[in-house]
Chains A and B, each alone.
Chain A
Amino acid sequence: MERAKIIETTNRFLIDEFEVEPDDIILDENLHETLDLDSLDYVDLVVVIQSHFGFKLTADDFKGVDTFEDFYTMIETHLRKFTQENAS
Chain B
Amino acid sequence: MNRVVITGMGIYSCLGSNLEEVKNSLYTGKSGIGIDPIRTEMGYGSALTGILPEPNLKKMLKRRMRVGMGQESRYAYMATTEAFKMAGIDDAFLDNNIIGLLYGNDSTAQSVIEGIDKLRAVKDTALMGSGSIFKSMNSTITMNLSTIFRLKGINFTISAACASGSHAIGLGYMFIKQGLQSMVVCGGAQEVNANAMGSFDGLGAFSLQMDDPTKASRPFDAGRDGLVPSGGGATVILESYESAVARGANILAEVIGYGFSSNGLHISQPSVEGPARSLKMALEQANVAASEIDYINAHATSTPLGDKHEAMAIGSIFGGDNCPYVSSTKSMTGHECWMAGASEIVYSLLMMQDSFIAPNINLENVAEEAKPLNLAKTTINHKIDTFLSNSFGFGGTNSSLIVRKFKQ
Contact = CB atoms under 8 A, between A and B. Distances in A.
Interface of A: 17-19, 36, 38, 40-41, 43-44, 46-47, 50, 56
A44 B62 contact: no
Interface stretch (B40-48, B126-134, B287-295): B126-134
A44 B129 contact: yes
B67 interface: yes
Interface in B101-157: 124, 126-131
A16 B400 CA distance: 47
A46 B62 contact: no
Given A18-B63, A19-B62, A19-B63, A41 B126 contact: no
Contact of B126 (A19, A38, A56): A56
A50 B128 CA distance: 11
A38 B64 CA distance: 9
Contact of A41 (B64, B124, B127, B128): B64
Residue from A36, A46, A47 with most neighbouring chain B CB atoms (10 Å)? A47
A85 to B, nearest CB: 17
A40 B127 contact: no
B64 A46 contact: no
Contacts of B62: 19
A43 B128 CA distance: 9
Nearest to A44: B130
Contact of B124 (A17, A18, A36, A56): A56
B127 A46 contact: yes
A83 to B, nearest CB: 20
A43 B124 CA distance: 12
10 contacts: A19-B63, A38-B64, A40-B67, A41-B130, A43-B126, A44-B67, A44-B129, A44-B131, A47-B127, A56-B126
A36 B65 CA distance: 13
Nearest to A58: B126
Nearest to B134: A40
Return the 8 tightest CB-CB contacts between A and B, nearest first: A40-B130, A43-B130, A19-B63, A47-B129, A44-B130, A47-B127, A44-B129, A50-B127
A33 to B, nearest CB: 14
Contacts of A47: 126-129
B67 A46 contact: no
A43 B126 CA distance: 7
A47 B67 CA distance: 13
Contacts of B131: 44
Contacts of B127: 46-47, 50, 56
A18 B62 CA distance: 9
A46 B126 CA distance: 8
Contacts of B130: 40-41, 43-44
Interface string B59-83: 0001110010000000000000000
